[in-house]
Amino acid sequence: MIEDVIDKCPRIESGRLVLRKWEERDLDGLVEMNADARVMEFFPAVMPRVESEIMLQRLMVKQDQLGFACPVVEDLESGRFLGFCGLNVPTYPIPLPFDPCIEIGWRLIPDAWGKGIAQEAARTWIRFGFETLQAEEIVSFTTVTNVRSQKLMQRLHMMTDAAEDFDHPMLEPDHPLVRHVLYRLNKDCFASVLQN
């Protein structure tokens, strides 16, 4: 299946966005975004350039292997890097409680906030996940304090159950961001949303 998927992962143009795979030219935009304290509010720390360089290489390797890895969001008109939004297979050294899974995730520069960009991109990739990848379920997760992202998950018709809240295995037990909430969307719910 993976070999087929790689060739099916598209470069998509919407009314105002380009959704595409990572390229080396995205490094400066990624570095700037990951160094912004507003963007990284719900992450353990801002990222120095060297960590963003490593992140870019990991994303490019993953997209070569799977065909997707939280693809780039770019402004269609200007070509400006806006961040990333899309599907990903988490590969933390310590598994998540709900692995294996396909997640939908996003991170955008502040100039792109509040404009429906993440929602537009996420809906495109969720459709791709269910219709092209034939995923059974897509998940999303964030810290319990990240209300903005949770509201987007709700607008995407994802559902949560407090019994599935979890401590992120990559954070120390006493870290203020350790507690996470899990949202799920299965293919039947997605099909139902399409019909309504």
Render pLDDT for 143-189 as a digit per residue (tens, 0 to 9): 999 999 999 999 999 999 999 999 999 999 999 999 999 999 999 99
Residue 186 dihedral angles phi and psi, to the nearest 5° = -100, 170
Helix (H, G, I), strand (E, B) or coil at 60: helix
- Whether the predicted pLDDT of 6 surpasses 50: no
CB atoms within 10 A of CB 8: 11
| Residue 19 domain flag | yes
Structure confidence by residue, pLDDT tens digits, 54-86: 999 999 999 988 888 999 999 999 999 999 999
- Whether the predicted pLDDT of 13 surpasses 90: no
- Whether the predicted pLDDT of 195 surpasses 90: no
Query: What would the mean pLDDT of 3-10 be, rounded to a whole number?
Result: 54
| Residue 12 domain flag | yes
DSSP state, residue 44? S
Tell me the pTM.
0.92
- Extract the tokens encoding 155: 């607008």
| Residue 113 domain flag | yes
What is the count of structural domains for the chain? 1
| Residue 191 domain flag | no
| Residue 103 domain flag | yes
| Residue 153 domain flag | no
| Residue 130 domain flag | yes
CB-based contact 66:6 (threshold 8 Å): yes
State the DSSP H helix or E strand holding residue 148, giving kind and residue range, or none if neither. helix 147-155
The long-range contacts involving 90-98, CB below 8 angstroms and separated by at least 24 positions, are 91/62, 92/169, 92/170, 93/170, 94/169, 94/170, 95/169, 96/141, 96/166, 96/168, 96/169, 97/164, 97/166, 98/139, 98/164, 98/166, 98/182
| Residue 170 domain flag | no
User: If you compute the radius of gyration of the chain from its CA atoms, what whole number of angstroms results?
Assistant: 16
Amino acid of residue 135: A
What CATH number is given to the structural domain containing 97? 3.40.630.30
**pLDDT for the residue numbered 191:** 82
- Extract the tokens encoding 42: 């719900």
Structure confidence by residue, pLDDT tens digits, 95-137: 999 999 999 999 999 999 999 999 999 999 999 999 988 999 9
The parent domain of residue 68 ranges over 2-139
